[in-house]
Structure 1
Amino acid sequence: MTVTATPRPTGHPGYSQTLERVPESAGVARSLVRTALTAWGQEDMVDDALNLITELVSNAVDHARLPAIRIIVLRKENWVRLAVVDRSRDIPLMRTDSNGDQIRGRGLVLVEALSDRWGTDLHRWGKTVWAEIRYEGAL
């Protein structure tokens, strides 16, 4: 009788951390994303994922109301989801105009470009803004 082992995913299926709503939290969020993707053997996604989480955290820092945000990194089927949860119900809008001489304000254009899909889930108490990257092969 031959027994075939089915490969199982490596690492936890999800990571999350509550952080202060300050610009410095983007660095902590990047570390969490790097840890998750490395544990899952998805190092080729790291650069795009780090840029995505930086933009999502930056938006929450700029627009959320309460002093804390939650960072979530999940894998499901062939997707890695990066998400930021905050207590504001204001839906982020993607700016496509030049916004004058301002450097900031077009982060969701980058999220759109780097992710395969992204969106906002509204909750009674706030929202989750997420971006997903599709990967090939098993985690």
Structure 2
Amino acid sequence: MTATTTSRPTGHPGYSETLPREPESAAIARRLVRAACAAWGLETMADDGALVVSELVANAVQHARRESIRVVVERTAVRTVRVAVADFSRARPVAREVGEGDEGGRGLALVEALAVGWGADERQWGKVVWAVLEAGG
């Protein structure tokens, strides 16, 4: 399936995209984050935001149900961006320490290192996993 990157405002201001629950969707999500950061003049956050959204999408692809996920990028303050991935699973993500057990879950340690905060909000239909990034001085 070939997806195209299109964005639309979802608030004041925000970008979102519904994507197939496939590993290739991480690249589209990264482009969405980079486009949003560029539009807001927050290019210095683009690389960290792209890494964070890649990990959140990878978790959703691996653990979610149904065929789609939703990526949302919001500017919550002048120098703050919230990246979120919604999916149809209520299973909460678990961060693992590097070197602990199997390969899974270590991406959330990366999210934890790059973000000023992250979490998961349960919804009736599933969950939203989010991370907040802040631009430096």
Please tell me the TM-score bracket, short chain as reference.
Answer: 0.7 to 0.9
CA–CA separation in structure 1 for the residues paired with 2:133 and 2:86: 18
Please state whether the residue corresponding to 2:89 is helix, strand or coil: coil
Alignment TM-score, normalising by the size of structure 2: 0.85
User: Is 1:116 aligned to 2:116, yes or no?
Assistant: yes
Moved more, 123-132 or 91-100: 91-100
Instruction: Please tell me whether Structure 1 or Structure 2 has the larger radius of gyration of its CA atoms.
Output: 1
Alignment TM-score, normalising by the size of structure 1: 0.84
Aligned residue in 1 for 2:53: 53
CA RMSD of aligned residues (A): 1.6
- Relative contact order: is structure 1 or structure 2 higher (C-alpha 8 Å, sep ≥ 6)? 1
Query: Post-superposition shift, 1:119?
Result: 0.4
Q: Which runs of 5+ in 2 are unaligned?
A: 1-11
Q: Which runs of 5+ in 1 are unaligned?
A: 1-11
Change (3 A) 1:48 1:136: closer
Query: Post-superposition shift, 1:35?
Result: 0.5
In the TM superposition, what are the counterparts of 1:91-106 in structure 2 within 5 Å? 91-96=92-97, 98-100=99-101, 103-106=103-106
Please state whether the residue corresponding to 1:72 is helix, strand or coil: strand
The total of aligned residue pairs comes to 125
**Large movers: runs of 4+ above 2 Å:** 102-105
Please state whether the residue corresponding to 2:105 is helix, strand or coil: coil
The answer to whether the 8 A contact 1:66-1:87 is kept is yes
Aligned residue in 2 for 1:7: none
Q: Deviations over 1:99-121 (max 9, x none)?
A: 45x55431100000000100001
CA–CA separation in structure 2 for the residues paired with 1:48 and 1:103: 21
Please state whether the residue corresponding to 1:81 is helix, strand or coil: strand
CA–CA separation in structure 2 for the residues paired with 1:23 and 1:118: 22
